[in-house]
């Protein structure tokens, strides 16, 4: 995978998804602990210590289930923060943001309104 870290612009989930699509990428789908650790390492190279930032993923809640919207399949690996997802699951316009804490070296998931303004991570599959 090739990742683009959107650390300058913020936008709603729909706005940043369009940005990724325009650049022939997709909003990130975090599908393993290894991918989580890779993203933490990549992001912390660009950020100061003791920083916390929220990033959009392609995760969305539909019909009381969570899906990776970029690929249209259900989420199996999860990295929810304690108490998450909150009881708003199933509500329209509920998305997953991944919150990076550089001090704790964590990238925990929270469900939130898709219209909130966040940074973002795009991904592209490298074809051989």
Per-residue pLDDT, 89: 57
pLDDT tens string 3-46: 999 999 999 999 999 999 999 999 999 999 999 999 999 999 88
C-alpha to C-alpha distance for 103 and 121, rounded to whole angstroms: 20
Q: pLDDT digit string (tens) for 86-127?
A: 866 556 668 999 999 988 899 999 999 999 999 999 999 766
Count of alpha carbons within 13 angstroms of residue 77, beta-carbon side: 9
Position with higher pLDDT, 27 vs 1: 27
Domain that holds residue 78: 2-8+10-124
Task: Copy the structure tokens of residue 55.
Answer: 């990033």
Domain count across the chain: 1
- Which of helix, strand or coil describes residue 127? coil
What is the domain-level CATH number for residue 22? Answer: 3.10.100.10
Task: From 81, 99, 91, 85, select the one nearest 115 (Cα to Cα).
Answer: 91
List alpha helices for the chain, DSSP H. 13-22, 33-44
pTM of the predicted structure, to 2 decimals: 0.90
């Amino acid at each position: 995978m090739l990742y683009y870290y959107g650390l300058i612009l913020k936008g709603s989930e729909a706005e940043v998804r369009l940005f990724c699509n325009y650049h022939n990428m997709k909003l990130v789908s975090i599908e393993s602990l290894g991918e989580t650790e890779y993203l933490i390492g990549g992001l912390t190279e660009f950020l100061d210590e003791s920083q916390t930032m929220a990033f959009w993923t392609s995760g969305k809640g539909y019909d009381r289930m969570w899906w990776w919207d970029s690929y249209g399949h259900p989420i199996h690996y999860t990295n929810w923060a304690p108490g998450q997802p909150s009881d708003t699951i199933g509500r329209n316009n509920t998305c997953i943001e991944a919150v990076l804490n550089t001090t704790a070296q964590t990238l925990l998931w929270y469900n939130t309104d898709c219209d909130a303004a966040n940074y973002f991570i795009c991904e592209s599959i490298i074809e051989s």
